[in-house]
Structure 1
Amino acid sequence: MDHFQTIASFNFAHEIIVLKSILQNEGIPFLFQNENLISIDPLASIAYGGIHLKVHKNDFERVQNILDELNNNLKIV
C-alpha cells in the first residue's frame, strides 16, 4: 500500500457504486478507504474526510481520465 495514493474523496457510499464497477471491469487495483465505516455511519464522513479512493501511482493518470469522463457525463464525481 506504500505506492497507493489518494486520487479522489467522496462524501457518501452511494457515490462510488458506478466508479467501483468501472475500476473492477478495467482491472485496476484500488482501495476505498473508510468505505465500510461510512456505509455504517454516514455522519462519520465529515469526521474522517469522506471515502478516499486510493490507486497505485502507475494507474493514477488512467484513473484520473476515468474520473474526468464520469464527471463530464454523469456529474457524480
Structure 2
Amino acid sequence: MSEFQTIAIFNFPHEIIVLKSILEHEHIPFLFQNENLISVNPMASYAYGGIQLKVHPNDFEKVQEILNNLITKLTIVD
C-alpha cells in the first residue's frame, strides 16, 4: 500500500460512507487514512489533515469519475 496516493480529503467520517460502499462494490482497493482516529475525535480532523482517500495510481481515473458523479448527484437541485 506504500504506492497508494491521495486522491481526495474529507473532514468528517459521515462524508465517506457512500463513497466507501461504491468503492467496495466496484472492487477498487482503497484506504481511508486517519478514518478511525477522526471517528474517535472529530475535532482532530484538521490537525491530522483530514481523512485521506488513497488509491493505486492505476485506479485514479476510475475513482475520479466516481467522485465527479457523486459531486454532480449531490449538487442537483430539483
Percent identity among equivalent residues?
72
Equivalence for 2:35: 35
Report runs of 4+ in structure 1 exceeding 4 Å deviation. Answer: none
Greater Rg by CA: 2
Alignment of 1:1-77 (within 5 A): 1-75=1-75
* Letter paired with 2:23: L
Structure 1 unaligned residues grouped into runs of 5+: none
What root-mean-square deviation, in Å, do the aligned CA atoms of Structure 1 and Structure 2 show?
0.7
TM-score, normalised relative to structure 2: 0.93
Q: How many residues align?
A: 75
Alpha-carbon separation, structure 2, partners of 1:10 and 1:73: 17
**Normalising to structure 1: TM-score of the pair?**
0.94
CA distance in 2: counterparts of 1:44 and 1:2, whole angstroms: 24
Q: For residues 37-73 of structure 1, give each alpha carbon's deviation from its aligned partner in whole angstroms, at most 9, with x where no partner exists.
A: 0000000001011000000010001000000000010
